[in-house]
Amino acid sequence: MEDAVNFTGKLKDHHQLAIQTTLPSSTGNNGETDGVQAAGTHLNTAYKAELQWNDGSWNLKSNKTDVNNLGIARLNPLDQLEEIRAQKKTINVESGAARGTKVLRIELDPKESAQRLQAKLADEMEAVKAGWEEQLLKVKAERRPKVKLELEQAWSEGRDQLMTMLNQADARVVYHLTINRNSGLPIRLSSETELTYINASGSHETEVLRTDSRFEQFR
């Protein structure tokens, strides 16, 4: 599966961030939809996540169990900058930067990156569970116990499979940060996260996530 998602964001008072995106339509080789559309999203509809900086991290202000909000929150480049600040890393200055800028190549510690990713995905799995527990209240009372049991079994199996894969996973995270030499402010932040793991079939599999964020309209 391959998808590209464009997004914009606006930071207010250093502590409030709004991120907005319109999810694309993606079509597989057989003409069927895949990717984000297969996840049950409403395509060509603008989704918006409101985040608040509290206690050293960015958190959703509302709809914390909404799958779309969780996905949009993952795009937060300010969270990536905080990840760079907090983690063990190797930093090198790249050559050939444009006049007035400096480009840093930052590679995060692989072991710590894998641990942080595992913790983040575990939290998201808990949020998914909380989300379907809310939806369960809409099911007729007489059917609710049976549906709850089926959902709990599916969620538990999915979480166990995820944790097994992550326990054996290798993560490589590299950032390129472009800085304005005069102001010291970031201009651009790109990243590549490569995760290699053993899938449910016992085969090695690699997933790559690339992001590219540009910071503009400083006030």
Query: 195: closest CA among 85, 120, 129?
Result: 120
Q: What mean pLDDT comes out for the span 2-19?
A: 90
The SS3 call for residue 149 is helix
Of 177, 205, 203, nearest to 190 (Cα)?
Answer: 177
**Residue of 219, 218, 194 lying closest to 207 (CA atoms):** 194
The HSE-up count of residue 158 (CA atoms within 13 Å, CB side) is 13
Is the pLDDT assigned to residue 7 strictly greater than 50? yes
* Most confidently modeled range among 107-111, 116-120, 136-140: 107-111
What is the model's pLDDT at position 23?
67
24 pLDDT above the threshold of 80: no
**What is the Cα Rg of the chain in Å?**
20
Q: Residue 42's pLDDT is what? A: 53
| pLDDT for 201 | 86
Q: Which is more confidently placed, 103 or 5?
A: 103
Q: Which residue has the tokens 């590209």?
A: 4
Check residues 97 and 67 and name the one with the higher pLDDT. Answer: 97
∠17-72-66 over CA atoms, to 5°? 105
Q: What is the mean pLDDT of the chain?
A: 86
- Percent of the chain past pLDDT 90, that is, above it, reads 53
Ranking 16-20, 62-66, 104-108, 166-170 by mean pLDDT, the lowest is 62-66
Distance (Å, rounded) from C-alpha 195 to C-alpha 209?
Answer: 9
Q: How much is the pLDDT for 191?
A: 95
pLDDT at 63 over 50: yes
Indicate whether 92 pLDDT > 60: yes
Cβ neighbour number for residue 14 with a 10 Å cutoff: 8
- Domain boundaries of the chain, sorted by first residue: 1-65
